[in-house]
Structure 1
Amino acid sequence: MAEDDIKEKVLNDLRSLRGKLDPEILREVELRMNGQVPYDKESARKTVELFLHARHDQGAFAEKVLKALKVKDQEKDGK
């Protein structure tokens, strides 16, 4: 009977701790446990910035990308 009491106490403690965790952190942990890496907008932005900075075309490619993104956003918004 003592083992059941200990098990129930541990489960209650885990439920209590889980309730205190940030849901976004829990989602990220679950994704990582399943072998998936959550999308990190800041890291993606930094990677693109580094890529564009390394190009030697006086910003022409960056302008092309920004223009394409603007058009895509306008199409998505129905403008």
Structure 2
Amino acid sequence: MADEDIKEKVLNDLRSLRGKLDPKILKEVELRMNGQVPYDKESARKTVELFLHARHDQGAFAEKVLNALKEKDQEEDNK
């Protein structure tokens, strides 16, 4: 088998494997390879919720923050 055939087979195998991976995992791996550490959205959201719960503004600031988070999530989902 020629070197080009082997190279093409390996590239096809890699494409096939990549297609089976979760896109969120691929994005996290890419971030980590570039020296960035992705944050855990669920933990961050829980921390914000606990902070907001301690505020005494009848939930006005909490509603504003949670709406902003939802909008950001929707924007990321649309990418």
The interval holding the TM-score normalised by the smaller chain is 0.5 to 0.7
2: CA distance, partners of 1:22 / 1:35:
20
2: CA distance, partners of 1:2 / 1:29:
32
Residue equivalent to 1:55: none
2: CA distance, partners of 1:12 / 1:74:
43
Residue equivalent to 2:62: 69
Structure 2 residue runs of 5 or longer lacking an equivalent are: 69-79
Structure 1 residue runs of 5 or longer lacking an equivalent are: 53-60
Aligned residue identity for 2:54: E
**Identity value in percent:** 66
TM-score w.r.t. length of structure 2: 0.59
Shift of 1:35: 0.8
2: CA distance, partners of 1:12 / 1:63:
54
TM-score w.r.t. length of structure 1: 0.59
Residue equivalent to 1:21: 21
Superposition map of 1:50-61 within 5 A: none
Residue equivalent to 1:38: 38
Provide the alpha-carbon RMSD of the alignment: 3.3
Aligned residue identity for 1:20: K
Shift of 1:73: 4.1
Q: CA 1:42–1:29 in 2, change beyond 3 Å: closer, same or farther?
A: same
2: CA distance, partners of 1:44 / 1:74:
12
